[in-house]
Structure 1
Amino acid sequence: MSAPKLESIITCPECGASACETMPTNACQWFYECTACHAVLKPLPGDCCVYCSYGTVKCPPIQQGSSCCTGGT
């Protein structure tokens, strides 16, 4: 199995700003503060982290076909 991609572009649903971020490999990221408008993003229902909800690339555990930690919804 290939190594997961670790960079994802998060797009803020509030202001539309995008930022390239490096995903953690050892934990889910349940919150993300937009660098432009400072809105705090949380995962959408059914998603485990902000990368799965707002990123161009799903988090590393999901990419590898395993379950991710439970979301903090």
Structure 2
Amino acid sequence: MQLESTIICPDCGHRAMETMPTDACQFFYDCKGCGTRLKPKTGDCCVFCSYGSLSCPPIQAQRDGEAGAACCKS
């Protein structure tokens, strides 16, 4: 499982490498380039799933078939 993801702001294109939490979903993220507050797109559980280069740890675990893996959405 990878814990670092690059968040790309849809407004200004700024990229920032961030460490994803493993014990909670991150619903908001303030862009370090323009200050826009990002929130998950409809159907996504967190900002990493919407704007990151990698999905959040619970989604990664589900894809890897780990038992008991769940995301905040479920």
**What is the TM-score normalised by the length of structure 2?**
0.88
Cα distance in 1 for partners of 2:57, 2:17 equals 15
Query: Does 2:18 correspond to 1:21?
Result: yes
1:9-39 Cα distance to aligned partner (Å, 9 max, x none): 0000010000000000000000000001000
| Alignment coverage as a number of residue pairs | 68
Cα distance in 1 for partners of 2:22, 2:50 equals 17
Alignment RMSD: 1.2
Cα distance in 1 for partners of 2:39, 2:55 equals 15
Match of 1:59 in 2: 56
Aligned sequence identity (%) = 59
Note the 1:9-48 alignment, pairs <5 A: 9-48=6-45
Q: Look up the equivalent residue of 1:69 and give its one-letter code.
A: C
**What is the TM-score normalised by the length of structure 1?**
0.89
Instruction: Give 5+ residue unaligned stretches, structure 1.
Output: none
Q: Any runs of at least 4 consecutive aligned residues in structure 1 with deviations exceeding 2 A, and if so which?
A: none
Q: Look up the equivalent residue of 2:46 and give its one-letter code.
A: C
Deviation at 1:5, TM superposition (A): 0.3
Cα distance in 1 for partners of 2:39, 2:6 equals 15
